[in-house]
Structure 1
């Protein structure tokens, strides 16, 4: 893991990004993003989840697509600018709760049968990734599922790469680990892994 940037990216980093561009990663318009969202939804092992948690929901594009498969979906992000758009997008989806939250410093108390960590893990420093991992595993009941989706090429601003994030979680899926690996996909520039709490 890259120890040259030991700090997680702060909320201010994302405030500046969204101030410069309302859709900085082209979530709303990119064919790449839309294909990745379709692959993410297709990879979910169950048709419905009673309680789901999406960390790093950004503008809520994937949130709105995931919502019909959830009884309750808590979607969080650190940027109020992004959350404003997410609230607008999901206004007609009563099962969606959108909240500003900085994981792992803050974490909801309830259990979830689905947790989605999509394009957010590489913003954490190694110590925060370790802390988040413990919190995520503890929040999953037996049979609860964790979905990881991350861009894999290195980005100079980010403390970690997508591959480092996935490798860290897959280390929890050994024979005696708390997770088991259900499926994995590697595409040109992203990877997708589904894990389940033993």
Structure 2
């Protein structure tokens, strides 16, 4: 029997409805929790600077702005044009940041990256789309490049997956492809950092 919540990824209209009602529905700009999580996210990155980074689901650009200072080039994508309009404005003084409206994994850039950030996005995908995104991320990640995952752990009945579902799936996917460099778990979120192994 199919489950309409778990079997279908959330679409753009879900997010646009939230952003129309509240320009910052998750309090990215004002939450102490978000500020501490962003600090931990950036602190987990092993390199001081990355040549080419990809942020999946940049939302209104609060983390994008901070991450940009660690990157020579940063592509930030989001499914919501409403959210990304605010991100563009926030990052207007950062020429290294490029924005695109993109529905990952139905769309994915052709670029190669030495950093891919998947923060608070994976649980919006159904399991089939998560698996598709894993393959795309892996193909786009250069040998030695880093994949950083950060997700909230609490129950959200309207989301197809949970934070642990996402991280456990990547743990299974890593196998001979990725090595885990770091991991942390708080009462509210989980953070895992992977590095792509050199090609055989």
Q: Same fold (TM over 0.5)?
A: yes
What residue is the counterpart of 1:140 in the other structure? 141
Ranges of 4+ aligned residues in structure 1 off by more than 3 Å: none
Q: How far, CA to CA, are the matches of 1:9 and 1:80 in structure 2?
A: 15
Q: How far, CA to CA, are the matches of 1:127 and 1:172 in structure 2?
A: 13
Report the 3-state secondary structure (helix = DSSP H, G, I; strand = E; otherwise coil) of the residue aligned with 1:143: strand
CA RMSD of superposed structures (Å)? 1.1
Alignment of 1:15-94 (within 5 A): 15-94=16-95
Gaps of 5+ in 1: none
Q: How far, CA to CA, are the matches of 1:125 and 1:7 in structure 2?
A: 5
The count of residues paired between Structure 1 and Structure 2 equals 195
Change (3 A) 1:193 1:3: farther
What residue is the counterpart of 1:186 in the other structure? 185
Query: Normalising by structure 1, what TM-score?
Result: 0.96
Any idea what the Cα deviations from partners look like across 1:161-182, whole Å, max 9, x if unmatched? 00000000011233xx201110
What residue is the counterpart of 1:152 in the other structure? 153
Report the 3-state secondary structure (helix = DSSP H, G, I; strand = E; otherwise coil) of the residue aligned with 1:69: coil
Q: How far, CA to CA, are the matches of 1:69 and 1:18 in structure 2?
A: 28
Q: How far, CA to CA, are the matches of 2:141 and 2:84 in structure 1?
A: 25
What residue is the counterpart of 2:96 in the other structure? 95
Structure 1 residue 98, shift from structure 2 partner: 1.1
Gaps of 5+ in 2: none
Query: Normalising by structure 2, what TM-score?
Result: 0.95
What residue is the counterpart of 2:124 in the other structure? 123
Structure 1 residue 154, shift from structure 2 partner: 1.4
Any idea what the Cα deviations from partners look like across 1:129-167, whole Å, max 9, x if unmatched? 000000000001110110000001110000000000000
